[in-house]
C-alpha cells in the first residue's frame, strides 16, 4: 500500500472531507484518487450526507462499491459535497454551503452529486462515485461538462448507500471521459449478497465506436415544453452526428411521461419519509436533550438537524402515505410508474437506445430557482429513467452561452454496455 499526497485547490467547495494521504494499492485503478459522494459509507471517514443531523458520523464499514474501488488499488481522495440526503438538483441544499460550477462559479454544478462532478470537471480527481435517484449523476455531469452513468438498477450494489429512496437510487461512475466511466463501472458492478436487489451482472466491456445500424429512438417529449430551444438545437445536432456515424434515428413517443414527474415525487418522498425516520437524535448525529420528553426531543433534533428541503420532502411523503390518501397518491403513482416501464419496453422492442437532452436548460445561476416547483421541473428529462430502472448516460455534446450541454442516451435494462458504446462513438467522432 502507498500513500499519496492529495491537497486539492478546492475553491469550488467540492469536498466536505479530504484524505490528505489516501492509501492506494495494486489493481486496475492503482494509485488513482477517486472521490466519493458523502452519502456513500466509508470506513473511518466522516459521512454526513451534507446534513447537520449526521455531523460527526463515522461509518464502521465501507459501502460495497467503495470496498471494490479500494480493492482495485484506488485511493479514496475524500468525500464530496451534495444536496442534503440527495434531495436537490443544484447542490445548494447542502448544510455546508453550495458547490460552485468550475465552468462558471456564478452557476450551480447540478445535483445532487454536484461535488463529485465539480471535483472531476476541475481536474482535482480523475473519477468519482455519485448516486442517482432522479438524475443526480446525469444532471451535474451535464451542467459541468463531464460524463456520468446511471447504471441499470441492481447492477451496482446499494449496500452502504445511506438510503433516500430505495427503489429508485443507484451508485454510478463519473469521469471526464467515457473510457474512465467504463473503467470505474467495471470495478463496481456485480453481485453483492448484502443487497437483496443486487443482480449477478458483472461489467467487462471495452467501449466500441462502431454504431453502424444502431437504431436510436428520438422521443418527441424530450424536445417539448420546458426545454430550452437552444439546448434542443445542440442535442439535435449531436444526434445528427450519430446518424453520420451510421446510426438510424426513429421518431417515437412516451405518452406516460406526462405523469413521470408527479409519480416520481410522490414515490421518492414517500420512501424518504420512511427511510429518514431513523434519524431521531439517538442513534446517529448530535445527542438530543434527554430532559425533554422523547416526542419533544425527537421534533427538536429533526427540526434543527434537517434542512428545509429535507423537511419538506418528509412532510410530503408522510402525507402521501397517510390514512385516506395512500390510494389517492402513492398507489396511483405506482400505476403511473408501471405505465412508464411499459412505454419504455414498447419502444425498446423497436429501437436499441433512446436519445435526448439530459437537462432542459444549461446550469442556472446560484439562487436563481428559489421556489421548489421550478427546481423540481428541472428533473423532467431524467426521472423517467429511474422509474423504469434502465441505464442512462450523459455525455457532453456542445455548449450554449459557453456552458455545457449533455446528450442523454438511455438503453434497455442491463444493456449499459450499449449506451456506453453510443456515448463513446459520439465522444470519439461527435465533433464534425
Tally of CB atoms within 10 A around 333: 22
Point out the catalytic residue in the list 113, 116, 122, 136.
136
Point out the catalytic residue in the list 51, 112, 116, 198.
112
Among this protein's residues, is 256 annotated catalytic? Answer: no
Among this protein's residues, is 157 annotated catalytic? Answer: no
Among this protein's residues, is 51 annotated catalytic? Answer: no
Point out the catalytic residue in the list 37, 70, 150, 369.
37
- Residues classed as catalytic: 37, 112, 136
Amino acid at each position: 500500500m502507498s500513500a499519496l499526497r492529495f491537497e486539492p485547490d478546492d475553491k469550488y467547495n467540492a469536498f466536505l472531507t479530504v484524505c490528505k494521504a489516501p492509501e492506494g494499492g495494486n489493481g486496475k485503478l492503482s494509485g488513482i484518487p477517486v472521490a466519493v459522494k458523502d452519502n456513500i459509507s466509508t470506513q473511518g471517514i466522516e459521512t454526513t450526507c451534507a446534513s447537520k443531523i449526521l455531523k460527526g458520523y463515522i461509518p464502521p464499514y465501507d459501502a460495497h462499491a467503495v470496498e471494490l474501488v479500494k480493492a482495485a488499488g484506488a485511493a479514496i481522495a475524500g468525500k464530496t459535497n451534495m444536496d442534503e440526503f440527495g434531495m436537490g438538483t443544484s447542490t445548494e441544499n447542502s448544510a455546508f454551503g453550495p458547490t460552485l460550477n468550475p465552468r462558471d462559479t456564478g452557476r450551480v454544478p447540478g445535483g445532487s452529486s454536484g461535488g463529485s462532478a465539480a471535483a472531476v470537471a476541475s481536474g482535482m480527481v480523475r473519477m468519482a462515485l455519485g448516486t442517482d435517484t432522479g438524475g443526480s449523476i446525469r444532471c451535474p455531469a451535464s451542467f459541468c461538462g463531464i460524463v456520468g452513468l446511471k447504471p441499470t438498477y441492481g447492477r451496482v450494489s446499494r449496500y452502504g448507500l445511506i438510503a433516500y429512496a430505495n427503489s429508485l437510487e443507484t451508485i454510478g461512475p463519473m469521469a471526464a471521459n467515457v473510457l474512465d466511466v467504463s473503467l470505474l463501472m467495471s470495478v463496481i458492478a456485480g453481485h453483492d449478497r448484502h443487497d437483496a436487489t443486487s443482480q449477478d451482472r458483472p461489467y467487462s466491456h471495452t467501449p466500441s465506436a462502431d454504431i453502424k445500424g444502431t437504431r436510436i429512438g428520438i422521443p418527441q417529449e424530450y424536445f417539448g415544453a420546458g426545454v430550452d430551444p437552444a439546448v434542443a438545437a445542440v442535442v439535435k445536432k449531436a444526434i445528427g452526428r450519430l446518424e453520420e456515424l451510421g446510426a438510424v434515428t426513429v421518431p417515437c413517443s412516451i405518452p406516460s411521461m406526462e405523469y413521470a414527474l408527479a409519480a416520481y415525487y410522490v414515490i421518492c418522498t414517500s420512501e424518504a419519509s420512511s427511510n429518514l425516520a431513523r434519524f431521531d437524535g439517538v442513534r446517529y448525529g448530535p445527542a438530543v436533550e434527554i430532559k425533554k420528553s422523547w416526542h419533544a426531543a425527537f421534533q427538536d433534533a429533526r427540526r434543527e438537524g434537517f434542512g428545509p428541503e429535507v423537511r419538506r420532502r418528509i412532510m410530503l411523503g408522510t402525507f402521501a402515505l397517510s390514512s385516506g390518501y395512500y390510494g389517492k397518491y402513492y398507489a396511483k403513482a405506482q400505476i403511473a410508474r408501471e405505465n412508464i416501464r411499459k412505454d419504455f419496453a414498447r419502444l425498446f422492442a423497436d429501437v436499441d437506445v433512446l436519445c435526448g437532452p439530459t437537462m432542459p436548460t444549461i446550469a442556472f445561476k446560484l439562487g436563481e430557482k428559489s421556489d421548489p416547483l421550478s427546481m423540481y421541473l428541472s428533473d423532467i428529462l431524467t426521472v423517467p429513467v429511474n422509474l423504469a430502472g434502465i441505464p442512462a448516460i450523459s455525455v457532453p455534446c456542445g455548449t450554449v452561452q459557453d456552458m455545457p450541454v449533455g446528450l442523454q442516451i438511455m438503453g434497455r435494462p442491463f444493456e449499459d454496455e450499449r449506451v456506453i458504446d453510443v456515448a463513446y462513438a459520439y465522444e470519439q467522432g461527435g465533433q464534425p
